């Protein structure tokens, strides 16, 4: 079986979320370069997911709840690792660069998606 991690259509990259254990379809790359940012919607259920404790009905409700959630992730092309793009990630990435870190912290809402995508 061939594993498809991404495909390109015209000038847009689509990442296979299933291969990264995030969701079961493709997500459009939102940035270009060494790090590709994309949105994931419904994450795979983990074996001991507390939302699954409520059986089929609870699982259905959890799926509906998660279907409207949007989570930003970043894929490193150097390592192939995928991590959530959030305040903690940015703190870690910017700790070596005092100037960029200062600019990031001056943002009115450093945790917003629009700031994280800059």
- pLDDT tens, position by position, for the chain (118 residues)? 667 777 788 888 888 887 777 777 888 888 888 998 888 875 554 555 555 555 556 666 666 665 566 788 998 989 988 899 999 999 999 999 999 999 999 999 999 988 988 8
Domain boundaries, the chain: 1-85, 87-118
Q: Is the dihedral of CA 8, 86, 83, 95 positive or negative?
A: positive
Q: How many CB atoms lie within 10 A of CB 108?
A: 6
């Amino acid at each position: 079986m061939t594993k498809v991690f991404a495909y390109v259509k015209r000038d847009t990259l689509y990442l296979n979320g299933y291969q990264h254990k995030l969701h079961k379809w493709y997500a459009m790359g939102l940035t270009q370069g060494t790090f590709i940012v994309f949105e994931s919607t419904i994450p795979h259920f983990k074996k001991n997911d507390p939302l699954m404790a409520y059986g089929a009905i609870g699982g259905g409700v959890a799926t509906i709840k998660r279907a409207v959630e949007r989570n930003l992730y970043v894929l490193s092309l150097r390592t192939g690792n995928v991590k959530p793009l959030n305040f903690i990630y940015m703190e870690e990435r910017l700790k070596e660069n005092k100037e960029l870190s200062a600019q990031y912290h001056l943002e009115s809402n450093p945790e917003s998606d629009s700031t994280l995508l800059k």
